[in-house]
Chains A and B, each alone.
Chain A
Amino acid sequence: MKAGSGGKTAFPRLGKRLCSEVLAEGLKGLSLWAALASTAWSLGNAAFIALAPPWWATAALGLGLLSLAPAFIFTAVNESSLTNLLRSLDEGTTIEAALSPGEGPAYGLIADRARAIDESIPFKAVARRRLLKGMGRFWLAAMAGLAILELMALVILNRPALAYRPQESAAGSGLGAVDSGALRPLGATDETKEGMDESRTASRKENLPSGGSVALSQEELQAAFDSLAQTREERLAMADGGAAPASSTGGEEEDAKRGTQKGEGAEAGSGAAGEPQPGDPGSKAKGRNARGQGYEGSDTGLPPSPLVDYRARLFQALTERGGKGVTTGESIDMAALRDYQKRFFGSFAMDAPLAPHDDPYSAMLKLRWGKLGEAFK
């Protein structure tokens, strides 16, 4: 029997039923893909956890598995399932006989009968197919893969995991190579931190008397006060956009220069020339990192610890205001301490004067809104 002309088939209802069967087979293929992809994902990630490959391994595995999903939908079409459905709908195989090639003496009668059967197909019920039928072993494999993954994660990572996540991910951080610290070796950074901690501890020990008392000599107080005044002047000069003091070191000149440029609104450069290099012996005291480390390690003659510096300045202020007879009491008045703190740190407040900058687009918008308002008036 021919398919018919004009796009119409001889057995349209049967065609629809078979088409739905094809789609159901596609869903079954999707189920197979899900089971196999779960297995591959679990085993792959277990291997990744054990071998610790680069960060893109997980993404590549996921990409490949996701991309292959349509292939399972296409190739799930099964001829036997179509035949079985056809025979369950047409138990007398009349349609099958009508569709066979060749035309015998009873062909016309069979064709008429086949059309009648086709018309009754929408009222025939067929057994509901189960999507997961025959898929048990695949899902069992998926569960086994998941168990292996969790076992590996618990043994190696000491926590359950569904995917391998490397600690250093260049793509996940969203930072460039410079900002993510890729240019500096990790060991060098750790050594620097350890050295800073050791020097800080040593300097604290040096500043403490043998009895552990916090009392300071007059010379130390004077030195602290001088250094405080010097630092304050330098910072004020930087904030005003003036030149750096002549006594400052190379690193501070660099900082002062940067501050000046920012104050003038000029865009700062990359700063690569001023960046500390890992092998540079004086790099601790110079550059951007030295600025944030505060007082110690720099060659500016500052007190080695900010805590000592603060205490020295507190004593100095007390001496100035109350005379030499004034000393700290046994108990500290917290309100007074807060007041001192406020006044002291308030003296460090910096206001960077910036030239007024009007965005031309905003100015245009304001102008137009103004004109619009006048027009409404």
Chain B
Amino acid sequence: MKRQNGTWLHMLLRLAPKGLPGVGGQRDPSQAPGRPSAGFMRASGKAAARPARPASNATRIRNAAVALGAGLLLYFLVAWLERAMGTDLAAAVFLEEACKFLLLLGFAVLAPRVCPRRKKPCPSLPQAVEGLIWGLAAIVVFATTENLAYFAAFPGNGIFLRLFWSEPVHLVSALAEAGAIWHLMRMGRGSGGSGGSGGTAGRKAGASRAEDAASRPGASMDMVARALCLLAIAVAWHLAFNLAADGPIQALEKSGDEAGLAWRSAILAAFLANLAALAALGYHFAHRVIVGGFLYGPE
């Protein structure tokens, strides 16, 4: 393996143009260890990567404030719409999920435009993914506000039961919607969006990949199907738990079961199902969206 490595390095050094730093035994002392030299990157046709900088605290605080405000606004908007439209239980679920989807989409689309980077190192976390992450935080704020509003309307310690019922439902549906948005964005980038952010070579590569994607309409259809499937999961999950809370769970609570064994079992089973769905979708989001976006970008 060492020999092979040496051969590779020798070959690459030969391919590299002369006179560049790091070539001919003169290593740039300011270069951080572990970073590829510019000559190496140019030889492979890549743009030179910059070291990743951790997000500053100011940026985090700004993002948190935006997420907080967006979550609060979303709650009051949904509450106002539900009151104005007089929606029933099922329609309220559709309205709520549509608003959450639009919020996440707004975060994903607007994040690169509001805070563009000068030059993006690669691999790096796409700003659309960062937007989705903070959009999920906004959904958490929305769920928190909803719980607090419910507590103000119906004060009592039963609110904690509702917390463990409703919060995972919101998170499951939000994660599914975030996955769907990521698929849609990948499809958009793949079909001729502003894909590359790594200079001319990247744009050329993006264009060539767009042609590639255009030549494969099946891939786009596949992404659309996945996105629709995830959206359906989000709505169906929320609807199922809302209907269950309104119907069978209440019936079990009012049944003649003195110990409430059936009711408690149903609540526990629902909580475990929520946790399982949350784990599955959380892993999907971490693996496909965050790591996938980090390594391969949106294309």
Given contacts A2-B296, A63-B147, are A104 and B167 in contact (CB under 8 A)? no
Asked if B205 and A102 sit within 8 Å, CB to CB, the answer is yes
User: Taking the complex as formed, is B94 at the interface, i.e. its CB lies under 8 A from any CB of chain A?
Assistant: no
Tally of chain B residues near chain A (CB < 8 A): 73
Asked if B8 and A99 sit within 8 Å, CB to CB, the answer is no
User: Taking the complex as formed, is B247 at the interface, i.e. its CB lies under 8 A from any CB of chain A?
Assistant: no
- Which residues of chain A are within 8 angstroms of B209 by Cβ–Cβ distance? 2
User: Taking the complex as formed, is A66 at the interface, i.e. its CB lies under 8 A from any CB of chain B?
Assistant: yes
In the assembled complex, how far is the CB of residue B191 from the closest CB belonging to chain A, in whole angstroms? 15
- Which residues of chain B are within 8 angstroms of A23 by Cβ–Cβ distance? 286
CB-defined interface of A1-19 with B at 8 Å, one 1/0 digit per residue?
Answer: 1110100011100110011
User: Taking the complex as formed, is B283 at the interface, i.e. its CB lies under 8 A from any CB of chain A?
Assistant: yes
- Expressed in whole angstroms, the Cα–Cα distance for A60 and B41 within the complex equals 55
- Which residues of chain A are within 8 angstroms of B242 by Cβ–Cβ distance? none
In the assembled complex, how far is the CB of residue A156 from the closest CB belonging to chain B, in whole angstroms? 24
Given contacts A67-B140, A70-B171, are A15 and B291 in contact (CB under 8 A)? yes
- Which residues of chain A are within 8 angstroms of B34 by Cβ–Cβ distance? 87-88, 91, 93
CB < 8 Å neighbour of A78 from B55, B141, B160: B55
User: Taking the complex as formed, is A347 at the interface, i.e. its CB lies under 8 A from any CB of chain B?
Assistant: no
User: Taking the complex as formed, is A64 at the interface, i.e. its CB lies under 8 A from any CB of chain B?
Assistant: yes
Asked if B204 and A102 sit within 8 Å, CB to CB, the answer is yes
Asked if A101 and B47 sit within 8 Å, CB to CB, the answer is yes
Asked if B290 and A102 sit within 8 Å, CB to CB, the answer is no
- Expressed in whole angstroms, the Cα–Cα distance for A22 and B125 within the complex equals 12
CB-defined interface of B112-155 with A at 8 Å, one 1/0 digit per residue?
Answer: 00000000011111000000011011001101100110010001
- Expressed in whole angstroms, the Cα–Cα distance for A106 and B15 within the complex equals 8
- Expressed in whole angstroms, the Cα–Cα distance for A102 and B195 within the complex equals 12
CB-defined interface of A154-192 with B at 8 Å, one 1/0 digit per residue?
Answer: 000000000000000001100000000000000000000
Of A107-115, A202-210, A272-280, A314-322, the one touching chain B:
A107-115
Asked if B159 and A63 sit within 8 Å, CB to CB, the answer is yes
- Expressed in whole angstroms, the Cα–Cα distance for A92 and B34 within the complex equals 6
User: Taking the complex as formed, is B18 at the interface, i.e. its CB lies under 8 A from any CB of chain A?
Assistant: no
- Dominant secondary structure at the B interface: helix
Asked if B47 and A67 sit within 8 Å, CB to CB, the answer is no
User: Taking the complex as formed, is B84 at the interface, i.e. its CB lies under 8 A from any CB of chain A?
Assistant: no
- Which residues of chain A are within 8 angstroms of B44 by Cβ–Cβ distance? 97-98, 100, 104, 106-107, 110
Asked if B36 and A97 sit within 8 Å, CB to CB, the answer is yes
In the assembled complex, how far is the CB of residue B192 from the closest CB belonging to chain A, in whole angstroms? 16
- Expressed in whole angstroms, the Cα–Cα distance for A56 and B42 within the complex equals 64
- Which residues of chain A are within 8 angstroms of B143 by Cβ–Cβ distance? 67
CB-defined interface of A331-371 with B at 8 Å, one 1/0 digit per residue?
Answer: 00000000000000000000000000000000000000000
- Which residues of chain A are within 8 angstroms of B40 by Cβ–Cβ distance? 93, 97
Asked if B148 and A106 sit within 8 Å, CB to CB, the answer is no
Given contacts A75-B133, A80-B54, A96-B49, are A9 and B205 in contact (CB under 8 A)? no
Asked if A101 and B46 sit within 8 Å, CB to CB, the answer is yes
Size band of the interface chain A makes with B: 35 or more
Given contacts A77-B133, A83-B123, A105-B45, are A14 and B8 in contact (CB under 8 A)? no
User: Taking the complex as formed, is B22 at the interface, i.e. its CB lies under 8 A from any CB of chain A?
Assistant: no
In the assembled complex, how far is the CB of residue B237 from the closest CB belonging to chain A, in whole angstroms? 16
User: Taking the complex as formed, is A82 at the interface, i.e. its CB lies under 8 A from any CB of chain B?
Assistant: yes
- Which residues of chain A are within 8 angstroms of B42 by Cβ–Cβ distance? 104
Asked if A99 and B55 sit within 8 Å, CB to CB, the answer is no
User: Taking the complex as formed, is A103 at the interface, i.e. its CB lies under 8 A from any CB of chain B?
Assistant: yes
CB-defined interface of B187-203 with A at 8 Å, one 1/0 digit per residue?
Answer: 00000000011110110
User: Taking the complex as formed, is B295 at the interface, i.e. its CB lies under 8 A from any CB of chain A?
Assistant: yes
User: Taking the complex as formed, is B26 at the interface, i.e. its CB lies under 8 A from any CB of chain A?
Assistant: no
Given contacts A63-B160, A93-B36, are A3 and B292 in contact (CB under 8 A)? yes
Asked if A9 and B198 sit within 8 Å, CB to CB, the answer is no
User: Taking the complex as formed, is B23 at the interface, i.e. its CB lies under 8 A from any CB of chain A?
Assistant: no
Asked if A68 and B140 sit within 8 Å, CB to CB, the answer is yes
In the assembled complex, how far is the CB of residue B145 from the closest CB belonging to chain A, in whole angstroms? 9
Contact residues, B200-258 vs A (CB, 8 A): 201-202, 204-206, 209, 219
- Expressed in whole angstroms, the Cα–Cα distance for A316 and B124 within the complex equals 102
Chain A: which residue is nearest B208 at the CB level? A103
Asked if A79 and B201 sit within 8 Å, CB to CB, the answer is no
CB < 8 Å neighbour of B122 from A9, A88, A99, A172: A99
In the assembled complex, how far is the CB of residue A16 from the closest CB belonging to chain B, in whole angstroms? 8
- Which residues of chain B are within 8 angstroms of A1 by Cβ–Cβ distance? 296
CB < 8 Å neighbour of B140 from A26, A74, A91, A93: A74
User: Taking the complex as formed, is A143 at the interface, i.e. its CB lies under 8 A from any CB of chain B?
Assistant: no
Asked if A64 and B148 sit within 8 Å, CB to CB, the answer is yes
Asked if A109 and B11 sit within 8 Å, CB to CB, the answer is yes
- Which residues of chain B are within 8 angstroms of A101 by Cβ–Cβ distance? 46-47, 122, 196-199, 201-202, 205-206, 297
Give 7 CB contacts A-B under 8 Å: A14-B295, A19-B283, A75-B64, A83-B52, A91-B34, A93-B34, A105-B15
Which residues of A line the B interface, CB within 8 A?
Answer: 1-3, 5, 9-11, 14-15, 18-19, 22-23, 26, 56, 59-60, 62-64, 66-68, 70-71, 74-75, 77-80, 82-84, 86-88, 91-93, 96-107, 109-110, 113, 171-172
9 tightest CB-CB pairs across the interface, nearest first?
A104-B45, A102-B201, A101-B202, A100-B46, A67-B144, A83-B52, A3-B296, A71-B140, A93-B36
User: Told that A80-B54, A80-B55 touch, could you supply 15 new A-B pairs with CB distance under 8 A?
Assistant: A15-B291, A63-B147, A70-B140, A71-B67, A75-B67, A82-B125, A93-B34, A97-B36, A97-B41, A99-B123, A100-B44, A102-B198, A106-B12, A110-B44, A171-B156
